[in-house]
Amino acid sequence: MNAVASDPAIAHHAALDARLVKAVRGIRLLTLASWPASTQAPFLDSVARGNPVLPRVDYPKHDFADARRELAAIADAADASHPLGRYLRDSVQSWELAARLLEALGTREVDALSAQLFGTPEQAMPGNGPATREAARHFIDIAQELDHELLAPEEQVPVSAVALQLQLQNDLDDFFDARVISVELDPALVAKAAAGATRIRLRSGAGFSAYDRAQLFHHEALVHSLTALNGREQTVLPSLALSSPRTTATQEGLATFAEQITGSIDIQRLKRVSLRIEAIAMARDGADFIAVFRYFRDAGQTPEESFASAQRVFRGVPTSGGGAFNKDTVYLRGLVSVHTFFRQMLRDEKLKTCHWLFAGKMTLDDAQTLAPLFEAGVLAPPRWLPPWLQRANGLAGALAFSLFANRIRMDRVGDGALPFASKDR
């Protein structure tokens, strides 16, 4: 007899989770809030004529009243004292906020609701660190100080979408030893790339950097797609395959950490992430779409890239300014949270918990709350793990060095003051 059949509490919450999956089927936050690709050309044409016109996006009206009633019923039936009940209640709250946000598309209420889901640029980093916006400015300043001539020649040659499609498809087929995730070209995509559980789309005609191949492989495929695929293996909590808004910070933090631990992230990537955070703060302070577009252009992005970056900031909110879609604030905060979590798990000799983060889309707290269920075999371990996590010794070595290096006070290190400095040359 399996654990679900033998434990009434598990069976009860498994049934509730199945209801949740059905209830949220139409609540596709990023898909419904995103702009159509047809908005780009008219705006860029107006810019080229020297008279930029604010884009106008007409969002369809949504009514998720039935879904929200079902979610409320699921929360009421969940036992808050049980790990599965806590997970369900937290999930319901997140999906309910997402439903309300979609019902408010086109209004400034989206700013407040997305702030509840994702935080704001003013929110402090983990451990009472600096504000997220302050951290973003740190990386922007460093990137601006570095000379682009430091890049190797091969890093400055753009890669076509067609070439990247072939390269990335080979990488994925080799990893899975089968065609599990397909890489496709999409001329209608506004962003340069987008990932689902079994498909990664690249915008036709876009140029990619030498780092993009590794970033798409480690960030999009081996985190976002992989956790969705592993989540589909769960019989008790099939909702672990869904992109719940409450898991966004951990998902993006984990994906960015994967870039970092594999050496796939570069300072320009950190700059792009940080520019979005600063742009969100600008929009919330009143900057309109045109001002934010110009901010990205002044930072060195092409007109097409600047439009794509600005539309991320203005998803769901008026383009006249005074509000923003706050999702992109999670990248730096998520990265620091995940990095800190991995170090804590190393210190506490619980690196196995880091594996469970890949068993589906969950938060850092979920991985610990649900730990007894993984240990008991109620929840399935991840079928696939990225190579850097499979090599536990290498990961432990990197984290151990990080733990030690953080004890060094850089403000106390002056010229010639390093303990290993020697006059013997």
Q: Is 371 within the bounds of a domain? A: yes
- The pLDDT assigned to 126 comes to 84
With respect to residue 207, please indicate whether it lies within any of the assigned structural domains.
Answer: yes
Any domain includes 261: yes
- CA 227 to each of CA 123, 171, 236, 311, 417: distance values in angstroms, whole numbers, following the listed order: 27, 18, 16, 27, 46
Total tally of structural domains belonging to the chain: 1
Residue 22 placed within a domain: no
Q: Which domain holds residue 393?
A: 117-405
Quick one: pLDDT at residue 421? 43
Which pLDDT belongs to residue 1? 41
> Is there a domain that residue 210 lies in?
yes
User: Residue 283 falls within a domain, yes or no?
Assistant: yes
93: in domain = no
Please give the chain's pLDDT, 425 residues, in tens.
455 557 999 999 999 999 999 999 999 999 999 999 899 999 999 999 999 999 999 999 999 999 999 999 999 999 999 999 999 999 999 999 999 999 999 999 999 999 999 999 999 988 778 999 999 999 999 888 775 555 554 555 688 999 999 999 999 999 999 999 999 999 988 778 888 999 999 999 888 887 889 999 999 999 999 999 999 999 999 999 999 999 999 999 999 999 999 988 888 889 999 999 999 999 999 999 999 999 999 999 999 999 999 999 999 999 999 999 999 999 999 999 999 999 898 888 888 899 999 999 999 999 999 999 999 999 999 999 999 998 766 777 776 766 666 665 545 555 444 444 444 44
Residue 349 in domain: yes
